[in-house]
């Protein structure tokens, strides 16, 4: 994965192109060799009845972190979809931001797996996720 301005721009466009990601306000923080860091600012409309960030928002951010890392890795040239996700929540996020650092841990011919470390704006660990994606197409080859 190349960490260039053009691939970072591709990843940012991927994050904001989807209406749901835009609704969540997802932002690219940094591209890494093995994944991405994205964030979501906590807003009142994203809180649950207990006053903390809704678990579905956290899961969606984790999913988007791996999906965006895959999009970045493949330079936007591959199609894929989520097939499985597991999230462990450690503590609630009530203010500031949720930060998701994804790492692509397995890039197979049809299945890719990513790990996401979730933290709050104070860098406290708030959860972890494992997200599995299925590639929907075959890689193109240049003759």
**Could you give the domains of the chain?**
5-135 (3.10.129.10)
* 25-76 per-position pLDDT tens digit: 999 999 999 999 999 999 999 999 999 999 999 999 999 999 999 999 998 8
Q: Are the CB atoms for 67 and 16 separated by under 8 Å?
A: no
Is the per-residue pLDDT at 19 higher than 90?
no
* 77-95 per-position pLDDT tens digit: 999 999 999 999 999 999 9
- The pTM for the full model equals 0.89
Average confidence score pLDDT of the chain: 91
| pLDDT at res. 106 | 97
Beta strands in the chain (DSSP E): 27-32, 35-41, 80-89, 97-107, 111-120, 125-135
In our burial notation (b when 16+ CB lie closer than 10 A, e otherwise), range 54-70 reads eeebbbbbbbbbbbbbb
| pLDDT at res. 3 | 46
Residue given tokens 């790990």 in the structure block: 115
């Amino acid at each position: 994965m190349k960490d260039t301005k053009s691939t970072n721009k591709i990843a940012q466009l991927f994050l904001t192109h989807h209406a749901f990601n835009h609704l969540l306000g997802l932002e690219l923080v940094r591209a890494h060799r093995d994944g991405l860091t994205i964030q979501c600012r906590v807003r009142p409309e994203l809180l649950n009845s207990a006053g903390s960030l809704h678990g579905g928002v956290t899961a969606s951010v984790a999913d988007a972190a791996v999906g965006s890392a895959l999009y970045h890795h493949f330079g936007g040239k591959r199609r894929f979809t989520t097939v499985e996700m597991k999230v462990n929540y450690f503590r609630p996020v009530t203010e500031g931001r949720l930060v998701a650092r994804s790492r692509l841990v397995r890039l197979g011919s049809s299945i890719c797996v990513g790990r996401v470390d979730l933290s709050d704006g104070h860098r406290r660990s708030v959860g972890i996720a494992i997200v599995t994606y299925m590639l929907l197409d075959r890689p193109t080859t240049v003759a």
